[in-house]
Structure 1
């Protein structure tokens, strides 16, 4: 995904004189040829992520369309105040492109982990969030984000599905188990694990690479009474939008994702996927437990504790 981002951004800089790129050392070598050709529109501020976002806000106010790039914890968490003030509050817009995702660089420790990035972006106003599940999804998503006038966050990862899905991010049915079946919605690179987890279960599976704005109409068209949400970042990040979309219907929601506990462990991205229960085996355990409970009585009243 990172390579496709570099290729597409380099092309955009050549095609559209409105496009600018702001870096804080990360990926600077990969953009050396572009910086040589467009020294006034490729700016590397050094390891100063807050300044990077501030510069992007200034460029946006002059009419340029800045792309801002770094690791997710540096781009979103470290520079959150600047996102809030220098972009949102000023009415300026930019396209943020992160790498590292939740735990791609787990071997670098907690400083490089960012499972809460989408939750933080969700506190800002009117942002589009793209979470591609395959490298081939990246170019079109980036081009569309740059062509728009609003702010966008493109979250890249080393983890990916076996195949790409095009489209604008509307929910796409990937596995149809029939009317009324429980619906599992997979966001970005967790799709393959989700499909493997429910391969022999009566569960429909839908996919999106655009969790914001959420496809409310698509969810209402596809969902039955049981909905399972699987996201590659903090568990429950999209629970509120799913619940709001189905507020007028009886429904039960299981929200899966990266846990809130600090594991204080290094390991690999694959290790963290397993530790957080986002591999096929972990997802299957969560889904079957949820469906067993649901089958016992979707709207059954909660038991009254003894003595009351």
Structure 2
């Protein structure tokens, strides 16, 4: 199961030397050597990547087996002892299945930890809908105080993972994917990056959606912002990109459920005339396995579809 996800790479992923999950395992293993406060909790998935670390730190690398609710419970318990737990499995098993434990064992108990997911919305189509979680970020939005990172490249994943591991007692979700952008950007775990400037509207590309957005908006007079930290939502950069012109038009392209971040953009611009559209994964389940590119096209997230949808929204 683990190998199938690791090997399900897009063409873009093959341009980098490792996947986000492989970088997660190597970086976190090194952090275990450096930080005695860090602990890793697994639910069978990903155990091979931590085999060496488990031999070096048997008391701080815990595999609970295929028991996802216990995964969260153990992580919350370790946090109560003063450790900084890093928990990992597929997004559907990390956020959706044990959501009550996430709500209670971290939120209600007032402790922090780092949830690191794999699988995303459709990274492993042949795994079926049980291994897809397009609603994970939206579900965490019902809880208070979660930081959410969505890297688009293994180098960005490393930066954000290191930041999350050292983040005191904060609650952090890091959403890894086999979809990657061709090149990393200098992310800081706080701000959106301005990659293009234009006057016709603003397009916010989240994580691995960036390359498709750049291709889709080529030649358009639009500002493109790159977001790898989506919670807290970077209100300041979005407002600066809008400027003081007429009615603002903002399109948010996300690799999870369409519209997940539109509320935050609307709140950021509530005192200004504006329109916001959320482009992302649709609510209709695509029941044929296919491949990642076919799922992107099926949800209108390939460059051609995005260009038509963004241009239509901007009135071009």
* Unaligned 5+ runs, structure 2: 1-19
1:59 aligns with: 78
Residues of 1 paired with 2:313 and 2:203: CA distance?
12
Residues of 1 paired with 2:273 and 2:158: CA distance?
39
Tell me, yes or no, if structure 1 residue 164 matches structure 2 residue 187. no
Tell me, yes or no, if structure 1 residue 261 matches structure 2 residue 284. yes
The residue matched to 2:183 in structure 1 has which SS?
Answer: coil
2:54 aligns with: 35
Q: Deviations over 1:66-86 (max 9, x none)?
A: 000000000010010100011
Residues of 2 paired with 1:223 and 1:271: CA distance?
33
Q: CA deviation at 1:283?
A: 0.4
Segment of structure 1 superposing worse, 195-204 or 183-192: 195-204
Residues of 2 paired with 1:275 and 1:170: CA distance?
30
2:313 aligns with: 290
Tell me, yes or no, if structure 1 residue 272 matches structure 2 residue 292. no
Residues of 1 paired with 2:23 and 2:287: CA distance?
32
Residues of 2 paired with 1:159 and 1:195: CA distance?
15
1:199 aligns with: 218
1:302 aligns with: none
Which residue of the other structure, out of 209, 218, 222, is the alignment partner of 1:190? 209
Q: CA deviation at 1:167?
A: 2.8
Which residue of the other structure, out of 117, 133, 157, is the alignment partner of 1:98? 117
TM-score (norm 1): 0.93
Q: CA deviation at 1:222?
A: 0.5
Residues of 2 paired with 1:196 and 1:108: CA distance?
29
Which protein shows a greater Rg? 1
Q: CA deviation at 1:181?
A: 2.6
The residue matched to 1:162 in structure 2 has which SS?
Answer: coil
The residue matched to 1:237 in structure 2 has which SS?
Answer: coil
Which residue of the other structure, out of 139, 149, 152, is the alignment partner of 1:130? 149
Residues of 1 paired with 2:77 and 2:223: CA distance?
46
Residues of 1 paired with 2:101 and 2:185: CA distance?
33
Q: CA RMSD in A?
A: 1.0
Residues of 2 paired with 1:130 and 1:176: CA distance?
24
The residue matched to 2:230 in structure 1 has which SS?
Answer: coil
* Unaligned 5+ runs, structure 1: 296-308
Tell me, yes or no, if structure 1 residue 116 matches structure 2 residue 139. no
Tell me, yes or no, if structure 1 residue 150 matches structure 2 residue 173. no
Residues of 1 paired with 2:110 and 2:202: CA distance?
38
Q: Deviations over 1:108-133 (max 9, x none)?
A: 11111110000111111111000001
CA contact (8 A) 2:159 2:187 kept: no
Residues of 2 paired with 1:201 and 1:87: CA distance?
44
Q: CA deviation at 1:29?
A: 1.2
1:70 aligns with: 89
Residues of 1 paired with 2:69 and 2:79: CA distance?
16
Q: Deviations over 1:173-195 (max 9, x none)?
A: 11112xx4301010100011001
Residues of 2 paired with 1:291 and 1:62: CA distance?
52
Residues of 2 paired with 1:87 and 1:206: CA distance?
32
1:80 aligns with: 99
Residues of 2 paired with 1:28 and 1:245: CA distance?
41
CA contact (8 A) 2:88 2:94 kept: yes
Residues of 1 paired with 2:285 and 2:161: CA distance?
32
The residue matched to 1:211 in structure 2 has which SS?
Answer: strand
